[in-house]
Structure 1
Amino acid sequence: MPSRSEQVDLSEVIGDELPYLRRYARALTGSQRTGDNYAAATLEAILQEPGIFERSLAPKTALFRAFHMIWSTAGAPTADTEDPANRLESRALDHMAGLTNNTREALLLSTIEGFDFDEIGRIMDVDGDEASSLVDIAITEMEKSMTGKVMIIEDEAIIAMDIHSIVSEMGHKITGIARTRDAAVELGAREKPDLILADIQLADNSSGIDAVNDILAQFGDIPTIFITAFPERLLTGDKPEPAFLIAKPYSEEQVRSAVSQAMFFSSTESLKAN
């Protein structure tokens, strides 16, 4: 059992990276609850056996490697499906059965978390070339899995058009672009989207979070990707949080990956304002 001083030291080293592990775990499982459970299990394992946190690696890499030890031991489940009424998560598991092993993890580690292929290899215990190949396979398989109608809620015209271009090139139909909460609700009422991609702060100082929740109140669960320049502020554990989150400035690969992930699962946890 590590000493008190060792526990404090580990907490300080890991603390800054924990929001990103939670983001990754949620995107990986498609469930806020399941993702957080695996992140918590990783921390407990590190506290019990500090040796699984390799100090020779960068803290984020070491933390994600420890997570993958827990993840692999558990058989890489995707979401908590103990509740038979949880149809959307069960559907996600059905989709997962058709994916090549380890490709989903490699894709998220690369495009969402920003690890290079050598770092992914260290995390997943494969070499860099295999990590690169897994990412390529994942992109192809994810983008073929599903297309649909996408609503964009974004007040910056250049960013909105860039996202429009990326998402439409993936084969999705764009239902429209809304710059304010009211415009988003009106757009959603005209044509129900299969996916919402929303900024947090909108043109009239309204909230993209509120806009999404208004739309969800009308239609029920719709997968949602939130965009923000400050992702760590939204991953505090104090309230329901998004499974899919893109940080600004974003890359095309991040948008493509997040859209494919969200459409793949056909569900996400909405971010609710208090």
Structure 2
Amino acid sequence: MSLATVIAPHLPYLRRFARALTGSQTSGDAYVAAALEALVEDPDSFPDTLPPRAALFQVFLKLWGSLDVNSQHNREADEAVDTLIERKLEAITPRPRQAFLLVSVEQFSPDEAAAIMGVPENELNELVEEAGAEIAAQVATDVLIIEDEPLIAMDLEEIVSSLRHRPIGVARTHREAVELVKKRTPGLILADIQLADGSSGIDAVNELLGSIEVPVIFITAYPERLLTGQRPEPTFLLTKPFQPAMLKALISQALFFEQKAGSKAA
């Protein structure tokens, strides 16, 4: 199979990534074209130790770094930043932006993203966290925590606060969650699905979503109760035990893209 055939299915995604990285579709496409020209001249530079999509992104980032685009602003005068997401992306410094886009937009696993960027996985996680801190500076918000285990609730409050968000309280039951939201509307909800009084965090969230529109991250030891494939499933789901870095990335992703819960959880 020719190299062109191998990489063709992945080019639309590379163009999306390049636009987000450079802030301009024209400029992004120019860098994609330059990467393809480099591959034509030297096909052996295409790494065979990675899956084709990851290898293509690695080739692109090596070229991008070598041309010092980090310090350039190549937007054409007539090409405005046309979405809120693009404006937010421009505010993130270049290498954290790369890490954030690879993990949150292109959905590479942390180890794949680390390989693409040529850094150890712990450094990749640090870059994602740095992006999270920069995102939080843009979208700092109030966070409701629905969690009945005191130690986990304390950990969640600490993680939320480390991202410069503001915990508005911890609800241990369905009723407490409803009462807290009556006092103060959150911009994000972190919810367990099994609560202290036997009530359901899913039911609590569904009731809250009847009156507010807000992104929700479910953090649960029972993902199989939500991932049934039979009814609408939550966009953001983290399984206990979790790594703080993964939760931080998920919080940043949920707020950055302003994805609402939309369909109620099953």
TM-score (structure 2 length as normaliser): 0.59
Structure-2 residue corresponding to 1:209: 202
1:108 positional shift: 4.4
Hey, what's the Cα distance between the residues in 2 that align with 1:215 and 1:166? 23
Distance, in Å, in 1 between the alignment partners of 2:245 and 2:209 is 27
* Structure-1 residue corresponding to 2:186: 193
In the alignment, residue 250 of structure 2 is paired with which amino acid? Answer: A
2:160 aligned residue (167, 170, 174): 167
Give the residue type in structure 1 aligned to 2:242: Y
1:128 aligned residue (119, 137, 141): 119
Question: Which residue of 1 is the match for residue 257 of structure 2?
Answer: 265
Supply the distance in 2 between the matched residues of 1:215 and 1:173 (Cα, whole angstroms).
19
Look up the equivalent residue of 1:212 and give its one-letter code.
V
Residue equivalent to 1:239? 231
CA distance in 1, matches of 2:118, 2:260: 32
Partner of 1:222 in structure 2?
214
Alignment CA distance shift 1:63-1:272 (3 Å): farther
Tell me the CA shift for residue 134 of structure 1: 4.7
Task: Check 1:153–1:136 CA distance in 2 against 1; reply closer, same or farther (3 A cut).
Answer: closer
Q: Distance in 2 between matches of 1:240 and 1:218?
A: 19
**Structure 1 vs Structure 2 CA RMSD:** 3.8
Alpha-carbon separation, structure 2, partners of 1:55 and 1:240: 38
Match of 2:110 among 111, 115, 122: 115
Q: Distance in 1 between matches of 2:56 and 2:89?
A: 20
Name the CA shift for 1:253/1:193 in 2 (closer, same or farther; >3 Å).
same
> Partner of 1:76 in structure 2?
none
The equivalent residue for 2:149 is 156
| Residues in 2 aligned to 1:203 and 1:67: alpha-carbon distance in whole angstroms | 49
Q: Unmatched 5+ residue regions in structure 1?
A: 1-53, 73-89
Per the TM alignment, residue 203 of structure 1 is displaced from its structure 2 partner at its CA by: 1.1
Q: 1:141 to 1:168 in 2, by over 3 A?
A: closer
Aligned to 2:176: 183
Q: CA shift at 1:141, angstroms?
A: 2.5
Residues of 2 paired with 1:145 and 1:187: CA distance? Answer: 25
Correspondence for 1:105 among 96, 101, 108: 101
Matches within 5 A, 1:13-28: none
Q: TM-score, normalised by structure 1?
A: 0.58
The equivalent residue for 1:86 is: none
CA distance in 1, matches of 2:120, 2:49: 22
Offset at 1:225?
Answer: 0.9
Q: Alpha-carbon deviation of 1:252?
A: 1.9
Corresponding residue of 2:242: 250
Q: Distance in 2 between matches of 1:263 and 1:201?
A: 24
Alpha carbons of structure 1 residues 121 and 237: separation in structure 2 relative to 1, 3 Å? same
The structure having more radius of gyration, on CA atoms, is 2
Paired residue total: 194
User: For residue 223 of structure 1, what is the amino acid of its counterpart?
Assistant: P
Q: Any idea what SS the aligned residue of 1:105 has?
A: helix
Given that 1:231 and 1:247 are in contact with CA atoms closer than 8 Å, whether structure 2 keeps it comes out as yes
Q: Alpha carbons of 1:56 and 1:113: their partners in 2 closer, same or farther (altered >3 Å)?
A: closer
Q: Please state how far the C-alpha of 1:235 moved relative to its aligned partner.
A: 3.5
